[in-house]
Amino acid sequence: MGNDILQLKPQEVWRHFYSLTRIPRPSGHEDAVREFIASFGRNLGLKTMVDSVGNVIIRKPAAPGMENRKGVILQAHLDMVPQKNSGTEHDFYNDPIDIFVDGEWVRARGTTLGADNGIGVAAIMAVLESGPIRHGPLEALFTSNEESGMTGAFGLKPGMLQGKILINLDSEQEGELSIGCAGGLNATMTFRYSDKPVPDGYIGLRIAVTGLKGGHSGVDIHRGRGNANKIMNRLLYEGYSRHGMLLSSIDGGSLRNAIPREATAVVAVSARQSERFLEDTYGLAAKIKQEFSAADPDLDIVAVSVGVPDRVIEERVAVSLLNTLCACPDGVMRMSNEMEGLVETSNNLAVVKSGEGAMTVECLLRSSVDSAREELENMIRSIFHPAGAVCLFDGAYPGWKPNPDSPVLKSMKETYTKMFGKLPEIRAIHAGLECGIIGATYPGFDMISFGPTITFPHSPDEKVSSSSVLRFWDFLVEVLSEISEE
């Protein structure tokens, strides 16, 4: 299968990307890929450093005659989002990605592909390895743990980087130049509970919500796709209100920055009420499926008999969870007044899990306006805290304020127009990029982000356009050759 990938152009990029797919690299488990990249730099005879938070920095001298150009930092992150379809057997901590060519697209079988941000990493590797490419002084910055906290960018120390221009290769629409992004904040709400015995005369049922597209909670949040946690809560809320259903366990979503695609719950229902419970559950399921028939046509909702659970969550706390999840905002809160089509503020109700005496709800709040993000934080706190949850807000990261007068933006617009006969689209994005964090540590940087076309990132439907990778690569090479003098 790798032979198909290796025939794609540019071969130097696809060769490195294929190597990356052989190395498990979910967020927080990047030791192997970090050593791979560091060894790559050292084997090229380039100065290579690994800092205290796991970032890899590699320096390459300027090409002959280019020594007086401004220094450029090429930046991408090492980790990938580990998501798979139910029924797909894959261990993200040990197994390589099963990658294949599907016409114009490169995909993975039943899992995320890791093109976010593996293509960016592979392109930087190709630049470092290349002899013919003309460029000024170069630094490659490979950051750690971007997807689950941006800890590499947060931990980057002042003085580590020497360049003046930072080019981030983590955008996902070829033909666009990104000049700004939203900031973010993690929210974690925890309910403590006691287990209670299941009353006599109750049966057990397992409810499953599957088949949703999910996606990136920044890039795809405006697409109106279903959130498995919200859908599950509608079913459970109705089941409790109408039939006194008791909740034994719940498990929905896995990552803050991925729209949850699947959720399961085990419940106990009075045997006398079970038939009506199932009728009402499937009746509501049909309505929900109709609501999402365009955005999520493969949505599936089933309820099946299982053994009677050993214990159930105490009713008072379970009801508090159902009420707060019903009230919790999810999706787009406000569109930007400054840039047409840009989401300003959103929330992703990402994870709902129970176990060991605690039910945990995790959200990712995003906004390009700090005061709007603060108001969303207050909204969520005012929902969960009065209901008895312990609320923790942490991991805040800044947005990246657009600079439409950026010199590198002007140069790259001209280069793109000259190469492709059209102007690139200039935009800010609702997703979080590391530029905002790095820019806070290095405020003098001129920054821009671009990349190939990647669709459905953070989901098993993730795929990358092979033709866009070629255009992305050709553009990157030309941009490096035209960086201005000091």
- Is it the case that residue 129 has pLDDT exceeding 50? yes
Sole residue written with tokens 């459905």: 456
* pLDDT digits 0-9 by tens, 231-264: 999 999 999 999 999 999 999 999 999 999 999 9
The rounded distance, in Å, linking the Cα atoms of 315 and 195 is 9
The rounded distance, in Å, linking the Cα atoms of 207 and 345 is 32
The rounded distance, in Å, linking the Cα atoms of 121 and 76 is 6
Q: Of all residues in the chain, what percent carry a pLDDT higher than 90?
A: 94
Beta bridge partners of 77: 143
Instruction: Write down all domains in the chain, each with its CATH number in brackets.
Output: 2-181+399-481 (3.40.630.10), 185-397 (3.30.70.360)
* pLDDT digits 0-9 by tens, 22-47: 999 999 999 999 999 999 999 999 99
pLDDT at 447: 97
pLDDT at 472: 98
* pLDDT digits 0-9 by tens, 169-192: 999 999 999 999 999 999 999 999
Q: How far is CA 128 from CA 15, 57, 152, in A?
A: 14, 12, 21
Answer whether 403's CB lies under 8 Å from 179's CB: yes
The rounded distance, in Å, linking the Cα atoms of 326 and 335 is 23
Residues tagged active-site: 79, 146
Lowest-confidence segment of 53-57, 86-90, 93-97 by average pLDDT: 86-90
Q: Of all residues in the chain, what percent carry a pLDDT higher than 70?
A: 99
- Is it the case that residue 2 has pLDDT exceeding 70? no
- Is it the case that residue 3 has pLDDT exceeding 80? no
- Is it the case that residue 165 has pLDDT exceeding 50? yes
